[in-house]
């Protein structure tokens, strides 16, 4: 393959002129860099920015994070999605704080052993914080290289990732690993965007396969398609003696570690209807107020949620489905619990119905 001449130098010049001002680029603290990288996994800078600031403020060092209760970490993570990131982040913080006695793992191989740190994140921290000359390969790097060189390899394949990593590393100036990696990703995010890339002003326009042949939309090639499963969820906030009943999601499923109100679930709309008409709790369930129907989309699931709120008299017997596995929380305590965003938003909209 004929490599693009002076690629790194031209890329770094572009980066010098066009880079965004982002807080994690102003530090060499591996803790903060790690934090930013985990937050930004499958997440846009615009969405992750506020979370990064919040985490740095609450947990200025890895020890602060390690000492925090997991519920608090998940609550700060609320709304960002992929909650295993927060659980792994917390677990890794404890590993670093205790096993490594606070000395942050300082090489790709050491970093790679941390929970939630894969190939990309290990390379990012190793290069940004420790100048280790290892190339990052994220969605941006895939896109930039696939378009520049006209590579039709399926980026879903492991083999392709290795190929692109080697290709990027072949262009990397060993003394400028950090800036080069940053520049590759920034170029993908700002110039060589997924849709409507800015080819007219691109410094590589004359070198780029996709720009020359008009293949920007075909590249990169990604074969995988996700299938969506439908789920039907019915939720009720039960309010009694000034407290709300909430339970933790402990099973291996979406929203693990988050809290939710009482739930009835079905695989089909018909099954849900039957449950609500025939089951014992149905009568009580239907007395709720502020019932909303909400369609909530996840990557692999389409959720049809109906959710409501209902008051029980102080002496009311507990409905059978509230037996164990859950607990009663004051509205303020409920605020502090980590919840799926769709639940949290409903609660915010209707919490004024409490105390009446």
Minimum distance from CB of 317 to DNA (Å)?
Answer: 33
Q: Which residues belong to the active site? A: 37
Tokens of 17: 């002129």
**Which residues of the chain form contacts with DNA (CB under 7 A)?**
22, 24-25, 36-37, 40-47, 79-84, 88, 115-122, 124, 138-140, 142-143, 156-159, 182, 185-186, 188-189, 194-196, 222, 224-227, 229, 252-256, 296-301, 340-342
Name which of 253, 339, 257, 246 is nearest 89 in CA terms: 257
| Cα(187)–Cα(175) distance, integer angstroms | 20
Minimum distance from CB of 167 to DNA (Å)?
Answer: 16
Distance of CA 126 to the CA centre of its chain: 21
| Cα(278)–Cα(276) distance, integer angstroms | 6
Taking the least distance from each CB to DNA, the nearer of 80 and 211 is 80
| Cα(61)–Cα(69) distance, integer angstroms | 15
Minimum distance from CB of 226 to DNA (Å)?
Answer: 6
Q: What is residue 177's three-state secondary structure? A: helix
Taking the least distance from each CB to DNA, the nearer of 272 and 303 is 303
Taking the least distance from each CB to DNA, the nearer of 63 and 296 is 296
Q: Hey, CA dihedral for 169, 161, 40, 185, is it positive or negative? A: positive
Taking the least distance from each CB to DNA, the nearer of 43 and 97 is 43
Minimum distance from CB of 283 to DNA (Å)?
Answer: 30
Minimum distance from CB of 139 to DNA (Å)?
Answer: 3
Taking the least distance from each CB to DNA, the nearer of 257 and 308 is 257
| Distance (Å) of CA 230 to CA 30, 135, 161, 263, 293 | 41, 39, 32, 16, 15
Minimum distance from CB of 251 to DNA (Å)?
Answer: 9
Name which of 263, 293, 266 is nearest 281 in CA terms: 263
CA triple 140-143-144, angle to 5 deg: 85
| Distance (Å) of CA 160 to CA 147, 154, 156, 209 | 14, 7, 7, 18
Q: What is residue 29's three-state secondary structure? A: coil
- The helix or strand, by DSSP H or E, that contains position 224, with its residue range, turns out to be none
Residues 217/211, Cβ–Cβ less than 8 Å: no
| Cα(184)–Cα(207) distance, integer angstroms | 16
Taking the least distance from each CB to DNA, the nearer of 111 and 288 is 111
Could you give the residue ranges of the DSSP H alpha helices within 292-352? 331-336, 341-350
Taking the least distance from each CB to DNA, the nearer of 145 and 211 is 145
């Amino acid at each position: 393959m004929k490599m693009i001449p002076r690629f790194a130098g031209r890329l770094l010049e572009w980066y010098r002129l066009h880079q965004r001002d982002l807080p994690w680029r102003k530090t060499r603290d591996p803790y903060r860099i790690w934090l930013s990288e985990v937050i930004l996994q499958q997440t846009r800078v615009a969405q992750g920015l506020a979370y990064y600031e919040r985490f740095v403020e609450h947990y200025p060092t890895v020890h602060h994070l390690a000492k925090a209760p997991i519920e608090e970490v998940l609550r700060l993570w609320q709304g960002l999605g992929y909650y295993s990131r927060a659980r792994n982040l917390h677990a890794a913080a404890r590993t670093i704080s205790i096993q490594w006695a606070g000395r942050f793992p300082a090489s790709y191989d050491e970093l790679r052993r941390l929970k939630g740190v894969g190939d990309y994140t290990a390379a990012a921290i190793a290069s940004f914080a420790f100048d280790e000359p290892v190339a990052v390969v994220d969605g941006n790097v895939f896109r930039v290289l696939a378009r520049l060189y006209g590579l039709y390899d399926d980026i879903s394949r492991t083999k392709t990732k290795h190929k692109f990593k080697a290709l990027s590393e072949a262009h990397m100036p060993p003394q400028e690993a950090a800036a080069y990696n940053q520049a590759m990703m920034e170029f993908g995010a700002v110039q060589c965007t997924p849709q409507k890339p800015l080819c007219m002003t691109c410094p590589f326009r004359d070198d780029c396969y996709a720009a020359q042949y008009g293949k920007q939309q075909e590249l990169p090639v990604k074969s995988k398609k996700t299938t969506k499963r439908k789920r039907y969820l019915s939720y009720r906030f039960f309010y009694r003696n000034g407290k709300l009943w909430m339970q933790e999601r402990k099973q291996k499923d979406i929203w693990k570690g988050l809290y939710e109100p009482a739930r009835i679930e079905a695989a089909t709309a018909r099954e849900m209807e039957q449950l609500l008409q025939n089951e014992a709790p149905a009568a009580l369930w239907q007395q709720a107020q502020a019932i909303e129907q909400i369609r909530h989309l996840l990557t692999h699931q389409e959720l049809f949620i109906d959710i409501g709120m209902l008051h029980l008299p102080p002496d009311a017997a507990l409905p059978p489905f509230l037996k164990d596995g859950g607990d009663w929380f004051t509205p303020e305590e409920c605020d502090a619990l980590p919840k799926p965003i769709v639940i949290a938003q409903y609660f915010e909209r209707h919490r004024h119905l409490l105390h009446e």
